[in-house]
């Protein structure tokens, strides 16, 4: 489950998302779609489904790969 404020690390980037960088989940649209906040205060719409977590870039006619993410797991302090 994705919640507002969750942290996602980019596992496969492109010119818009940097591999290894952590991004914050913004508003939740529904169970499948949500916003990922970027540095300039803007956001991109992301999807979480059986394929994983990603921002689809198919509108760019295949010239750019999708950006893929995984949820950052918080470490418990002892």
State percent of the chain over pLDDT 90: 69
71/24 Cα distance (integer angstroms): 10
- Within the chain, which residues score under 70 in pLDDT? 59-62, 75-78
Q: What's the predicted TM-score (pTM) here?
A: 0.85
The per-residue pLDDT for 15 is: 87
Give the N- to C-terminal CA distance of the chain in Å, as an integer. Answer: 25
């Amino acid at each position: 489950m994705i919640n507002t404020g969750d942290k996602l690390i980019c596992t496969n980037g492109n010119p818009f998302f940097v591999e290894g960088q952590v991004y914050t989940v913004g508003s939740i649209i529904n169970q499948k779609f949500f916003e990922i906040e970027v540095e300039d205060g803007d956001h991109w719409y992301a999807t979480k489904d059986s394929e994983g977590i990603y921002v689809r870039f198919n509108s760019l006619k295949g010239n750019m790969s999708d950006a893929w993410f995984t949820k950052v797991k918080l470490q418990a302090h002892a």
